[in-house]
């Protein structure tokens, strides 16, 4: 919001003139943003074209190194082989695999008292609570705040025409 207003509005015609000027500014901003997005998209496309051969080469070289390292795992003392231009190695990694149909696992977790393995997120659904009468909203410890919020809408089509 402007801190130093140079003038005040004295009529609805003044308000209408301001709305027209805002619409003109919005139209100009839309053009600037559209040009910016086109420039960004062009730059992204150009970068993707330049990057693609490097990314493909990295993938090929990584696959070759992985195959060689697996075949020659015995040549690695410990978990890492240090070379002049980097390191290769193996680190042990494990993960739990859960099938998509996991209701049996959930049932078994409950059965064996492994409740810490089950995530339950409770949140308040404000949209549903809003539909209740005020006395119910107050009863649960919430409150309804009603206010007149200013809004405006410019008519860019008229400004363009």
Q: Are residues 17 and 83 in the same domain?
A: yes
Cα angle, residue 48 at apex, residues 42 and 50 outer, rounded to 5°: 105
pLDDT at 1 over 80: no
Q: Are residues 31 and 72 in the same domain?
A: yes
Radius of gyration of the chain (CA): 32
Q: Are residues 48 and 120 in the same domain?
A: no
pLDDT at 127 over 90: yes
pLDDT category at 138 given cuts 50, 70, 90 is very high
The model's pTM: 0.56
Cα angle, residue 60 at apex, residues 63 and 64 outer, rounded to 5°: 35
Q: Are residues 118 and 70 in the same domain?
A: no
Q: In angstroms, how far apart are the furthest CA atoms of the chain?
A: 87
Q: Are residues 27 and 49 in the same domain?
A: yes
CA distance 161 to 148: 33
Q: Which residues contact 117 (CB under 8 A, 6 or more apart)?
A: 109
How many domains, the chain? 2
Please indicate, yes or no, if residue 79 is contained in any of the structural domains: yes
Please indicate, yes or no, if residue 157 is contained in any of the structural domains: no
Q: Which residues contact 144 (CB under 8 A, 6 or more apart)?
A: 130, 134, 137
Which residues are 80's β-sheet partners? 89
> H or E stretch including 80?
strand 80-83
Q: Are residues 50 and 116 in the same domain?
A: no
Domain that holds residue 128: 95-144
Please indicate, yes or no, if residue 156 is contained in any of the structural domains: no
Q: Are residues 15 and 87 in the same domain?
A: yes
pLDDT at 42 over 80: yes
| Residue range 48-107, pLDDT digits in tens | 999 999 999 999 999 999 999 999 999 998 889 999 999 999 988 888 888 888 888 999
Q: Are residues 87 and 18 in the same domain?
A: yes
């Amino acid at each position: 919001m402007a801190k130093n207003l140079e003038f005040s509005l004295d009529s609805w015609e003044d308000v209408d003139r301001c709305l027209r000027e805002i619409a003109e500014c919005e139209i100009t901003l839309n053009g600037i943003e559209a040009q910016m997005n086109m420039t960004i998209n062009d730059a992204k496309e150009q970068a993707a074209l330049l990057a693609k051969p490097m990314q493909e080469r990295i993938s090929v070289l990584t696959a070759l190194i992985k195959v060689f390292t697996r075949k020659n795992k015995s040549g690695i003392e410990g978990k890492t082989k240090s070379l002049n231009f980097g390191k290769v190695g193996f680190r042990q990694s494990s993960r739990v695999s859960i099938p998509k149909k996991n209701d049996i696992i959930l049932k078994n977790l409950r059965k064996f008292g492994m409740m810490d393995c089950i995530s339950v997120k409770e949140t308040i659904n404000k949209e549903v609570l809003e539909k209740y009468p005020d006395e119910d909203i107050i009863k649960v410890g919430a409150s309804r705040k009603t206010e007149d919020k200013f809004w405006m809408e410019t008519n860019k089509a008229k400004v363009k025409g």
